[in-house]
Amino acid sequence: MRVTDAALVARVRRDVAATIPADELLRSYEDPARRHLLYERVRAVAGVAVAPEDAERICADLFGFGPLQALLDDPRVTDVLVNGPDDVFVERAGRLARADARFRSREELEDLVYRIAASVGRELTVDRPFVDARMRDGSRANAVVAPVGGPTLCIRKFRELSLPLRGGSPSWAAASSLPEQCAELLAECVRARADIVVSGATGTGKSTLLRALAAEVPPEERLVVIEDTNELDLPHPHVVHLECVPGRGGAAVGVADLVANALRMRPDRIIVGEVRTPREASALLEALSTGHEGALTSLHAGSAADAVARLELLLARTGEIAGDAARRHVLRAIDLVVHLARDRSGQRVVREIAAIDDEGPQPLWRTGQDALAPLPPRLRGIVG
């Protein structure tokens, strides 16, 4: 029978949900084994002939993502965008479409938003009515509430996608129309310990490409990986993962702290999942300038030239170095930029590869070119 009794739901909330700390609700539901246990407890507490789909709905409402749970469980869905209680969109295969999901009320959506914030130790307040949360499975959620707007919610699911640089489909060379010689160059640059930045907008595949580049690191080398949340499961035999520790006012232990610590861990390579802030950029560039070659990192930018300019800007904002000195520091630290984008079909592609020298980014290949441009002297000296 279809469960509509509000008193029954309230009893389940009191006897099951209330026994779990607020910051553990979503974490409990993410774990398949614990999700099954919660499901059995709900059916036991209900004490009536509850249909399986109704028990699952109650569990999703009280512990999970409510009406969004089925979308998040769908492996084809990459993003879930909630503009309002009855205005939900999803992205599948690079295309946005309205979803057949809705919240029963504005309050139900707000309850989920506050539960997400609590799951990562954050609070939504009048002074800070938004939150950027990285959940335990690597998925990213951004929520906004009044007075800024909303409630709105954007969830980008974590995809542990492994796509090699070279070879037949599936590979970057096959999937993104990247000439095989370009894929070979990237692999050679990694092996030769070039410092590489992967740039692009949100959702263009930066983490996937970082994983493919890391797969080219020789197996005898030691990698130290630094991320907000551990999502770079690298195909390499010697990897140490360092994760940021969130705090109420931001990261209690941030990327910059971990980069500084990584230098004392005898790394052959340092891989930083993403550089976002001036302090992070300064720490990474300082590490590169002290002889730690072969670093891999990513950042948001609109082109290879924009990636260099953004690093310059971040470095200048630290107040430690400015103007031409900041530019020179960036140009000496980075050897190669690989820029990603989405084509009109939504497919993630390599759009541009640029070598970096003292004059700035030097284009080596762009979408539509059949062959690589000649390597500038500095990069030619690295790859031999």
Question: What CA–CA distance (Å, rounded) separates 77 from 154?
Answer: 13
Judge whether 184 lies within some domain.
Answer: yes
**Conformational region of residue 277, where left means phi above 0, alpha means psi within -120 to 50, and beta covers everything else:** beta
- Domain shared by 81 and 49, yes or no: no
Residue 305 in domain: yes
What pLDDT does residue 1 have? 36
Higher pLDDT, 8 or 285: 285
Can you give the pLDDT at residue 70? 87
Section 295-303 average pLDDT: 95
Residues in CB range of 64: below 8 A, 6 or more apart: 26, 29, 35
Could you tell me if 333 and 309 lie in one domain? yes
**Are 342 and 299 within 8 A, CB to CB?**
no
**What's the chain's average pLDDT?**
85
Position 164 in a domain: no
Task: Please enumerate in sequence order all residues whose Cβ is within 8 A of that of 239, keeping only pairs 6 or more positions apart, or say none.
Answer: 223, 224, 225
Residue 141 lies in a domain: yes
Question: Which of 49-63, 71-85, 154-168, 171-185 holds the top average pLDDT?
Answer: 71-85
Q: Which range in 19-23, 57-61, 116-120 is most confidently predicted, on average pLDDT?
A: 116-120
User: Which pair of tokens denotes residue 134?
Assistant: 């990285």
Q: Are residues 179 and 326 in the same domain?
A: yes
Alpha carbons 372 and 183: distance in angstroms, whole number: 11
Task: Find the mean pLDDT for residues 255-274.
Answer: 91
- CATH number where 101 lies: 3.30.450.370
CB 105 within 8 A of CB 97: no
Dihedral sign, Cα of residue 245, residue 237, residue 182, residue 209: negative
Is 284 within 8 Å of 258 (Cβ atoms)?
no
Consecutive H or E run containing 112: helix 106-119
78 lies in the same domain as 59: no
- Tell me the three state secondary structure of residue 223: strand
One domain, residues 192 and 60 = no
Query: Is residue 163 in a domain?
Result: no
377 confidence band (pLDDT: 50, 70, 90): very high
pLDDT score at 168: 75
Domain that holds residue 228: 172-383
Q: What is the CATH number of the domain that holds 191?
A: 3.40.50.300
Q: Which whole-number Å values give the CA distances from 237 to 164, 258, 303, in the listed order?
A: 16, 21, 33
Model confidence over 80-126: pLDDT tens digits? 999 999 999 999 877 889 999 999 889 989 988 988 888 777 788 88
Report the candidate in 91, 310, 336 with the shortest Cα–Cα distance to residue 204: 91
| Shared domain check, 304 and 220 | yes
Note whether 183 and 215 are same-domain residues: yes
Q: Is residue 329 in some structural domain?
A: yes
Number of domains composing the chain: 3
Q: Which one of 46, 64, 82 terminates a domain? A: 64
Indicate if the pLDDT at residue 311 is higher than 80.
yes
Q: Which of 336, 327, 328 is nearest to 382 (CA)?
A: 336
Q: How many CB atoms lie within 10 A of CB 17?
A: 20
Which tokens go with 103?
Answer: 């919240």
- Asked if pLDDT for residue 18 goes beyond 70, the answer is no
φ and ψ of 355, to 5 deg: -85, 150
Contacts of 87 (CB under 8 A, 6+ apart): none
Please state, in angstroms and rounded to a whole number, the distance separating the CA atoms of residues 294 and 276.
Answer: 20
Same domain membership, residue 14 and residue 74: no
Q: Show which of 133, 158, 183 is a domain's final residue.
A: 158
Same domain, 70 and 195: no
pLDDT of residue 73: 85
What single-letter DSSP state applies at residue 204? Answer: S
Q: Which pLDDT band holds residue 28 (cuts at 50, 70, 90)?
A: low
- Whether the pLDDT of residue 6 is over 80: the answer is no
Closest residue by Cα to residue 355 from 304, 303, 288: 304
Average confidence (pLDDT) over 17-27: 65
Asked if 210 and 350 sit in the same domain, the reply is yes
Q: What percentage of residues in the chain have a pLDDT greater than 90?
A: 42
Whats the size of the chain, residue-wise?
384
Please say if the pLDDT value at position 234 is more than 50: yes
Task: Tell me what the mean pLDDT of segment 59-75 comes to.
Answer: 84
pLDDT for 4 equals 47
Residues 139 and 46 in one domain: no
Give domain status of residue 177, yes or no: yes
Q: Is 106 helix (H, G, I), strand (E, B) or coil?
A: helix
Average pLDDT on 217-228 reads 92
Taking the chain, what is the end-to-end CA distance rounded to the nearest angstrom?
Answer: 72
Question: What are the helix (H) ranges across 238-292?
Answer: 255-262, 278-289
Please check whether residues 148 and 234 belong to one and the same domain. no
- Picking from 64, 83, 116, the residue at the C-terminal end of a domain is 64
Q: What's residue 271's pLDDT?
A: 93
How many other CB atoms are there within 10 angstroms of residue 70's CB atom?
17
Is 337 contained in some domain?
yes
